[in-house]
Chain A
Amino acid sequence: MKAKIIITPKKAVLDPQGKTVQNALEHMGYSGIQGVHVGKYIEIDLAPGSDPETARQALEDASHRFLSNPIIEDFRLEIAD
């Protein structure tokens, strides 16, 4: 079982990386792109037989306190087999 945590910059926060990637895509000729946001992806291997709900609660807490910074980032947590 794995936990997947996707962290993205908050809308109100300057994202120069996203903007630069967007400009590059446009220069390469990819059209129709409205916005690019560069974030982080964290994959956590959970011990076999872990209770998904317990793992979710623990990792929600860890994501708030440590894995993301709520001042500048949003996160999405998924528990997958």
Chain B
Amino acid sequence: MRFAVIQFPASNCDQDAVHALRNILGQEADLVWHKETSLAGADAVVVPGGFSYGDYLRCGAIARFSPVMQAVQQFASNGGIVLGICNGFQVLCEAGLLPGALIRNRSLQFRCEQVYLRTVTRRSPFTRAIPGGRILRVPIAHGDGCYFADTETLATLRAKDQILWEYANAAGNPTDDANPNGSVQNIAGICNARRNVAGLMPHPERACESILGGEDGRLIFDGILAYLRERAASRAA
């Protein structure tokens, strides 16, 4: 499969994403510069972490108007798979591809540590390969990761099963102590109503090989690949 990894000025996890996709998962991965207007036939898009446009104004606010994001909007509206990681999650929220917003961490600290995630639903390309009950251990590295949405939006997210991951403790309980940034309802990642666009603050691409401390992040990419292969097979049939 062919992944497009979007590259904004001051993206800094773009190479991590390409490394994980190419060298660990054995897929094709192309960097796509923010001034591009086409995704060149990609099967899936990763909007990576970093500090696009210096985080000026608000995280993701300027990136969302870049030429390549118009192509990502189009790709998503055609049902294409889009995964936003960290700053990528912020960009997708600013772009209106995902509901809610990410604000300054409750502690005001930049948090760089391993967290545990409970997968709330396996009903998405991003979570389908995660074994039921498996708690993921993945790193976070952000200063503005506190997820916020109004009560009406939160009710819709719950009702439509769009919350994919919650911050939890090692036993899988979403406690306040396990919430690294103050996110409402411990939300770490969500998807859109159509379930083809997802965003999360933790970094699965940094948790794809044991030398980096764990392989749990692979399960998210494995799910995307399984979905893409199934879709390709059904289109060929």
Contact = CB atoms under 8 A, between A and B. Distances in A.
Interface of A: 9, 12-14, 16-17, 20, 66-67, 69, 71-72
- The CB with the most chain A CB atoms within 10 A, among B103, B105, B149, is that of B103
A9 B101 CA distance: 12
A16 B65 contact: no
Interface in B19-53: none
Nearest to B99: A71
A69 B101 contact: yes
Nearest to B65: A66
Given A69-B58, A71-B100, A72-B103, A17 B148 contact: no
Interface in B50-95: 57-58, 61, 65, 94
- The CB with the most chain B CB atoms within 10 A, among A9, A12, A20, A66, is that of A66
A66 B148 contact: no
A72 B57 contact: no
24 contacts: A12-B150, A14-B103, A14-B106, A14-B148, A14-B182, A16-B104, A16-B105, A16-B106, A16-B108, A16-B182, A17-B104, A66-B61, A66-B65, A67-B57, A69-B58, A69-B61, A69-B94, A71-B100, A71-B101, A71-B148, A71-B149, A71-B150, A72-B101, A72-B148
Interface of B: 57-58, 61, 65, 94, 100-101, 103-108, 146, 148-150, 182
A22 to B, nearest CB: 13
Interface majority SS (helix, strand, loop, mixed), chain B: loop
Nearest to A12: B150
Contacts of B150: 12, 71
Contacts of B148: 13-14, 71-72
A14 B61 contact: no
Given A69-B94, A71-B149, A72-B148, A13 B65 contact: no
Given A71-B100, A71-B148, A72-B101, 18 more contacts: A13-B103, A13-B148, A14-B103, A14-B106, A16-B105, A16-B106, A16-B107, A16-B108, A66-B57, A66-B61, A66-B65, A69-B58, A69-B61, A69-B101, A71-B101, A71-B150, A72-B103, A72-B148
A1 to B, nearest CB: 23
Contacts of A17: 104, 108
Contacts of B100: 71
A58 to B, nearest CB: 16
A20 B58 contact: no
A71 B60 CA distance: 14
Contacts of B106: 14, 16
Nearest to B146: A14
B56 to A, nearest CB: 11
B184 to A, nearest CB: 8
